Amino acid sequence: MRIDQIGGMIKAFPAMPGAALKLLTLTDAPSATVQQIEDVLRQDPGLTANVLKLANSAYFGIPSKVGSVRQAVMLLGLKRLVQMVVATCASAIIDRGVPGYDLPAGELWRHSLAVSVAAKGLAGELKIQAADEVFTAGLLHDVGKLVLGQFVQEEYTDIKRALAQGMTFEAAEAAVLGIDHAEIGARVLAQWSLPENIVHAVRWHHAPEKFGTVDIMLDVVHVANMLCLMIGIGVGREGLLHEPSPVVTRRLGLEPPHLEKVASQTLQWVSELSQALAVG
């Protein structure tokens, strides 16, 4: 059965480095101390080196040299630091081509970065407060494509037939393969034991109104994903075969100028962030 094959691939999906996951769990706890962060990083010298390189990169613009993890946490803040550590780890998993979706090497990674920065930018433009995890949720929202790509490739004739009936791309995935990339992504992240709000944002990023609760983080990831595809970042075979939710548009108070202002800045944000991450 196809769905069993997909389930097997989810189980075999690469894990995040343990240290990165521990850091993510730590930032979830309000009582996390710098000492705990140092303890986690000490177990992974490679990650520590990356943290220091990132902290000293032009992206953060810190004028003095950052020489220790303690200093990096003080200057960047715990959450921002963890986000960047997770991003360096995620790049090892996401930064590759996905033939089923017609995404050449690097394009899914660029799309992931773009949705992260655009989601953050959108919250800023709308003057709303989204959870800090919005960056990580944006970064990981399409992880499921890495599993589903091969099956989309194999069953594309049937998917095309479903699309011709007016389905969205993710609905066609579910109709033909029994599961869509958003659900697969959520299952991978749940397996990694990521915070629940990130898992939900990934699960419902194409259908936010189907999630029982209103979550601003999910809403902005939904809009940012659509926007990044529209401006050609990571748009492959699926094209623009998605439907932006009118419910989300209304509850965010989203207007064309918000979208267009964020679009005008996204490419620059992506290139700054990917340069910072490239130092790792």
Partner 1 sequence: MNITVLVGDMKTGRTGDILVTHALGSCLGLMVFDPMAKVGGLLHAMLPLSSINPEKARGNPAMFVDTGVPLLFKSVYEMGGAKERLIVKAAGCGNPMGKNEIFKIGERNYTVLKKLLWKNNILLKAESVGGTASRTIHFEVDTGGVLLSCNGTKGPL
Contact characters 224-253, partner 1, x per CB under 8 A: --xx-xxxxx-xxx-xxxxxxxx--x----
Burial of residue 30 (CB within 10 Å: 0-12, 13-18, 19+) is: exposed
| Contact pick of 39, 58, 260, 275 for partner 1 (by CB under 8 A) | 260
Under rule CB under 8 A, how many of the chain's residues touch partner 1? Answer: 31
The span from the CA of 270 to the CA of 249, in Å, is 24
* Interface positions, 186-205, toward partner 1 (CB under 8 A): none
Distance in Å, CB of 96 to partner 1, minimum: 18
> Which of 265, 269, 272, 279 is in the footprint of partner 1 by CB under 8 A?
265
Residue choice 88, 91, 112, 168 for contact with partner 1 (CB under 8 A): 168
What does the DSSP 8-state code read for residue 254? -
Comparing CA positions, the residue from 150, 198, 205 lying closest to residue 20 is: 198
85 vs 103 by CB, closer to partner 1? 103
Q: Residue 177 carries which DSSP code?
A: H
Is residue 269 packed enough to be buried (19+ CB in 10 Å), middle (13-18) or exposed (0-12)? middle
Q: Tell me how far apart the alpha carbons of residues 191 and 3 are, in angstroms, rounded to a whole number.
A: 17
The reply on whether position 261 binds partner 1 by CB under 8 A is yes
SS3 98: strand
Residues 69-128 that bind partner 1 (CB under 8 A): none
CA distance 41 to 37: 6
Report the amino acid identity of residue 81. Answer: L
Of the pair 39, 243, the CB lying nearest partner 1 is at 243
Q: How far is the CB of 159 from partner 1 (least distance, A)?
A: 12
One residue of 10, 139, 207, 254 binding partner 1 per CB under 8 A:
254
Residues within the interface to partner 1 (CB under 8 A): 168, 226-227, 229-233, 235-237, 239-246, 249, 254-257, 259-261, 263-265, 267
